Structure 1
């Protein structure tokens, strides 16, 4: 009678793309169930953007020149595209912290022992975060309507704008995934996920017109992926603040937003999946 000395390797997942999609949806469902059991995660995620809307609208409204006027209502309409974009990108920190927490608790190692696609763990996590971000954006849109924000270009363009916002949020969640796999603790992932987001969101056209910036800073802001999505949303919503500029992303913001988001997904998904394999090998 022989003694088993080495554990048999876990069977590899099959099914190609179909199997990978199925595994990703299973992981996404697991994360969504977890979110429902910790409702404070969703509640706190809703409170922050609502505070930004109210504070920016009533503190800066009336003091910022938008389209030749300092009318508070004009600034609220100008502001909302930036707040929407900031909200979907700030979800990056939560995505990174969640993955870092799973790594810290050894859950990722347990997933690795299962016969599932390697990229499914990260894809499922980012999809679950996308669902939570969608809920946040819906609530935020209702609050924005209450403070005076309006849509002027019809339903199809409005849906297109929100689709661009969610695509940008999904793209940035892969940056958060890479950060979560790189650091050692959830706290470090949260800090690391926010440090780089502040310059990205504030060196942009989100809260002020870039025309008032120094030339070199304006150039950075106009080629910022975040700015492209904000510009595209203002254009699709019909909100004020679409400033003429010679920069290609500002002239073609919808295409620039799509291109930036898809490029970020391709690059950072590749890096995150590679890091996941090496971190749990």
Structure 2
């Protein structure tokens, strides 16, 4: 059966994003079951948080696909995106920016996870969001475009 060549790439991305969304919903349900309560978050804020997480998953899925497409074999493809796991650890996820060493604050502040985390905190916990929401969306859009173009270029170069 003939299919559009790009549907393989898009199908993989859509499947990965759906898997990430299901994982986020399950983790959120476990958090609520264990006692997490959002103080004043409305249903719209919960949906906005889910939307941001979905957009974030899309962006990093495209980046991971690009990294995998540039790999020489399947083993390397599965390991090339591993450094992305470190990004949340060097963000404001665990330690507030102002309590980090001065030399480390710019590293943590100017990467994609910090504005996304601060936006999620603002949506669900009522903290100040400031301009973090549009910085997070800009990161997501930029990484999505970059990852898509990178992946598509490599996919189109493949003679198969």
Q: Could you tell me the TM-score, scaled by structure 1's length? A: 0.53
Distance 2:132 2:123 in 1: 10
Contact in 2 for aligned 1:232/1:254 (Cα 8 Å): yes
Question: 1:162 — aligned with what?
Answer: 50
Q: Name the count of aligned residue pairs.
A: 159
Distance 2:100 2:85 in 1: 17
Distance 1:188 1:213 in 2: 34
Question: 1:275 — aligned with what?
Answer: 154
Question: 1:65 — aligned with what?
Answer: none
Question: 2:34 — aligned with what?
Answer: 147
Question: 2:95 — aligned with what?
Answer: 208
Is residue 146 of structure 2 the alignment partner of residue 258 of structure 1? no
Contact in 2 for aligned 1:206/1:227 (Cα 8 Å): yes
Is residue 103 of structure 2 the alignment partner of residue 235 of structure 1? no
Cα shift at 1:258: 0.9
Gaps in structure 2 of 5+ consecutive residues = none
What is the DSSP-based 3-state SS (H/G/I as helix, E as strand, rest coil) of the residue aligned with 1:224? coil
Q: What are the residue-to-residue correspondences of 1:1-281 with 2, within 5 Å?
A: 114=2, 116=4, 118-152=5-39, 153-194=41-82, 196-238=83-125, 251-280=130-159
Cα shift at 1:239: 5.4
Cα shift at 1:115: 5.1
What is the DSSP-based 3-state SS (H/G/I as helix, E as strand, rest coil) of the residue aligned with 1:251? coil
Cα shift at 1:144: 0.7
Task: Tell me the C-alpha RMSD between the 2 structures.
Answer: 1.9
Distance 1:115 1:236 in 2: 41
Q: Could you tell me the TM-score, scaled by structure 2's length? A: 0.90
Contact in 1 for aligned 2:63/2:146 (Cα 8 Å): no
Cα shift at 1:121: 2.1
Cα shift at 1:159: 0.8
Cα shift at 1:215: 1.8
Question: 1:27 — aligned with what?
Answer: none
**Considering only CA atoms, is the larger Rg found in Structure 1 or Structure 2?**
1
Distance 1:253 1:277 in 2: 36
Distance 2:75 2:137 in 1: 31
What is the DSSP-based 3-state SS (H/G/I as helix, E as strand, rest coil) of the residue aligned with 1:262? helix
Distance 2:98 2:110 in 1: 14
